[in-house]
Amino acid sequence: MEVTKMKKNIIISLLAGLLILTSCEDFLDLAPIDEIGSNGFYKNTEEVEAGVISIYDGLQAVVMNEFALTEMRSDNTKTKNSEGDWAQFEDMNVSPTNATVSEYWSLNYNVVFRANVVLQNLDAVSDEAKRNQFEGEAKFARALAHFNLVRAFGDVPIIDKVIGPEDKDYFSRRPADDVYQFIIADLTDAASKLPGKDEIAFGRATKGAAYALLAKVYLTVKDYGKANDAINEVLKEGYALEANYNDVFYNEMNDEIIFAIQYIPDNTEDSEIFSYNFTWKGRASGLNYPTDDLLNSLEAGDLRQSTLFYWEPLAGSSGRFECGKFRASSSNEELGGNDWIVLRLADVYLMQAEAIMGAATATSDATAIEAVNKVRRRAGLPEIVGSLTKDQLLKERRIELAFENHRLYDLIRFGVADQVMEAFSNTTEASFEYNSNKLLLPVPQREINLYDGLTQNPGY
């Protein structure tokens, strides 16, 4: 399988490797630093900030193929031709040697490594406000990477400092509950140190981003009260829904976006390729195609339809639907500039309803219902009146956030993954044998071979 296109095409394994600082993104408006090693570096504020920017560079690579591990392992998307390793995701039968899975593990731990390098060198920053900001950015990214890993693989190593091959105590997998507590601690501290959205360049972590991610973590561990508290903090930060759903994705850097990973079109260093891969011309002749199940799940009159699904005409009168959220406008289709949205306000509103509903199957709470209706009104749909059910909320999340890598984890968090995926696996469209063990990905065999103490997930 082709390795993800990223800045230096470097894959750094879990617990070893050198940090390579690559050129800073123009949209962060910072001076470029290129290929500076860590030895003898990090002696002043500017050099530590270069390390901070390298964290965002690492995040660019993380999300490039994340859709395969999330959307394509749900009832939302599929490949066009079920070819090669990509087909393993839509069949929920992923091999421990799958290159995309191995890459995802390494790339997330590379972000953790970069964050830990910054945290190790904060004493070089004399200005307290800057030092707090850099610490908050590094802890936000470290938390996000661990959250990616624990949801995908379950028990994983917690890496809280820069380590080397001699630090064997770090090689073993830690219980998922411990990982979540580590993430919560990082995000809580980050939220206390990060500036608001109007006090820092777009594309960098903010107080609102830390609280929004913290809310999702609390929902995952079913601490609904603390999730609601974190959401209330996000709502103080001045975000606003875009009036037009399409503008969320094609009027970038808008007020609905809480955190996005940025790319530059037609730029060999800072472009993305997922937009190209979501078309019939992409790898495997098309990836992340909407399933018929997703296409048929929209209510009549839903204004989101034209943004969600793009009709690709073929010869004669035939054609097919593709993902419509990431249509590249670059002159080189393989060098897209579409930002990847990690957190946005509509997601937060739907999380607010989830937090209020808690473990119940329905709620008549006016705040919860209004939170969902804010999203539905923009979609041109009738408001929910009287009572909101868990099924309604899950469906609203499916449509509103389709193709944004939420669906599988939503099913798991809502406790219906087995039910939904078992039913989907028996449809003509899917036709695979469902195994609940496969909700977790296999630990990459390469990592198990390298590090004593790493064990494999059940069923692999």
| Interatomic CA distance for residues 77 and 95, integer angstroms | 19
The domain that holds 188 is classified in CATH as: 1.25.40.390
pLDDT for 20 beyond 90: no
Residues in CB range of 441: below 8 A, 6 or more apart: 69, 94, 101, 152, 153, 457
DSSP type of residue 388 = E
* pLDDT tens digits, one per residue of 48-75: 999 999 999 999 999 999 999 999 999 9
Residues in CB range of 81: below 8 A, 6 or more apart: 284, 285, 286
- Tell me whether residue 258 is in a domain: no
- Tell me whether residue 236 is in a domain: no
Give me the domain span that covers residue 170.
Answer: 1-193+417-460
What is the model's pLDDT at position 49? 97
Looking from the CA of 158 toward its CB, the CA atoms found within 13 Å total 15
What is the model's pLDDT at position 80? 87
What is the model's pLDDT at position 421? 98
Domain count, the chain: 1
What is the model's pLDDT at position 29? 39
* pLDDT tens digits, one per residue of 175-233: 999 999 999 999 999 999 999 999 999 999 999 999 999 999 999 999 999 999 999 99
- Tell me whether residue 147 is in a domain: yes
3 state SS of 38 = coil
| Interatomic CA distance for residues 240 and 13, integer angstroms | 40
Structure tokens at 443: 């630990």
| Interatomic CA distance for residues 340 and 350, integer angstroms | 19
Handedness of CA 329, 254, 62, 324 (dihedral sign): negative
Residue 280's Cβ-count burial label (10 Å; 0-12, 13-18, 19+) is middle
Instruction: Give the amino acid at 5.
Output: K
- Tell me whether residue 95 is in a domain: yes
pLDDT for 340 beyond 70: yes
* pLDDT tens digits, one per residue of 346-386: 999 999 999 999 999 999 999 999 999 999 999 999 999 99
- Tell me whether residue 65 is in a domain: yes
- Tell me whether residue 281 is in a domain: no
- Tell me whether residue 445 is in a domain: yes
- Tell me whether residue 273 is in a domain: no
**pTM reported for the whole predicted model:** 0.92
What is the model's pLDDT at position 39? 61
User: Pick from 221, 229, 206, 218: which is nearest to 344 by CA?
Assistant: 206
Lowest mean pLDDT among 23-27, 222-226, 272-276: 23-27
Tracing tokens 């419509």 back to the chain, one arrives at 324
pLDDT for 33 beyond 50: no
Q: DSSP states of 53-117 as a string?
A: HHHHHHHHHHTSSHHHHTGGGTTSEE-SS--TTHHHHHTT---TT-HHHHHHHHHHHHHHHHHHH
